[in-house]
Amino acid sequence: MGLFSKEGTLKILFFGFVLGIIFWGGFNTALEATNKEAFCISCHEMKNNVYEEYTSTIHYSNRTGVRATCPDCHVPKEWIHKIIRKIQASNEVYHKLLGTIDTREKFEAHRLELAKHEWARMQSTDSRECRNCHDFESMDFDKQEARSANRHEQATEYGWTCIQCHKGIAHELPEGYDPADDTPEAPKESDE
């Protein structure tokens, strides 16, 4: 009845399997717990600044009561992208400990830089998190106002992505940022 007997091997395999389930389940549960809005706003930096602003926008309160919570926009859904983002977020924990943005003034001072990070992330993924819900394919341009329909048609034609125009929709825009400098423009039609 040694450890390396047939029976022992089976025992090890069995316990390994059970432990594996427990550890993986625990890891996943912890990951899910950090992916809840309640976790995001357990820090005052988030609760008093970005969350507060978000509560007055359409992604928080609207006619049909569908909500996009913090992780819906800021954490990718797919596993590999999610893990990468979660590892990056350890930097946020570090700055939480340093107190980099622990007052409104400090937050406002860093706001443009932080916003630029998020805009760049969204642009690099073709606004993947927006497209979890919003899809050009499903958009009925006839139901939009003429001007929005025009702009969306241009966007599909020239390959623009959501975040290029829709900045500051869930949070205030940073001071010193003028969307007019940044929004894409349809190329001038060449004279033929």
Partner 1 sequence: MLNTKKTMAFTHKSLIRKLTLMTLLVLTAVMFSLPAMSVESLRGDDPLNSHSVKVGKYKVKTEEGGYERNFKKQPPLIPHKIDKYRITLKNNGCLKCHSEKAYKKEDAPKVGDSHYITRDGKTLKHISRRRYFCVQCHIPQVDSDPLVENTYENEE
Q: Which of 140, 142, 145, 191 binds partner 1 (CB under 8 A)?
A: 145
**Beta-carbon contacts of residue 35 (< 8 Å; ≥ 6 apart):** 71, 75, 82
Minimal distance, residue 174 CB to partner 1, in Å: 7
Q: What are phi and psi of 63, to 5 degrees?
A: -60, -45
Task: Note the Cα 137 to chain centre separation in Å.
Answer: 21
Distances (CA, A) of 16 to 10, 29, 138, 166: 10, 19, 47, 49
Q: Applying CB under 8 A, which part among 39-47, 62-70, 116-124, 141-149 lies near partner 1?
A: 141-149
Q: Min. distance of Cβ 56 from partner 1 in angstroms? A: 8
143 lines the binding site for partner 1 (CB under 8 A):
no
98: burial class by Cβ within 10 Å (0-12, 13-18, 19+)? exposed
Binding piece for partner 1, criterion CB under 8 A, among 26-34, 66-74, 115-123, 176-184 = 176-184
- For residues 173 and 87, what is the distance between their CA atoms, to the nearest angstrom? 27
Instruction: State yes or no: residue 178 binds partner 1 (CB under 8 A).
Output: yes
E strands in the chain = none
Task: Give the number of residues in contact with partner 1, rule: CB under 8 A.
Answer: 22
Nearest distance from C-beta of residue 173 to partner 1, angstroms: 5
Answer yes or no whether residue 107 interacts with partner 1 by CB under 8 A.
no
* Contact pattern for partner 1 over residues 148 through 167, marking x by CB under 8 A: --xx----------------
**Closer by beta carbon to partner 1, 34 or else 183:** 183
Q: Return the number of other C-beta atoms located less than 10 Å from residue 21's C-beta.
A: 10
| DSSP structure class, residue 166 | -
For residue 179, state whether it binds partner 1 (rule: CB under 8 A). yes
Nearer to partner 1, 43 or 173 (CB): 173
Look-up of token digits 């029976």 = 7
Which residues lie near partner 1 (CB under 8 A)?
57-58, 145-147, 150-151, 168-169, 172-175, 177-181, 183-186
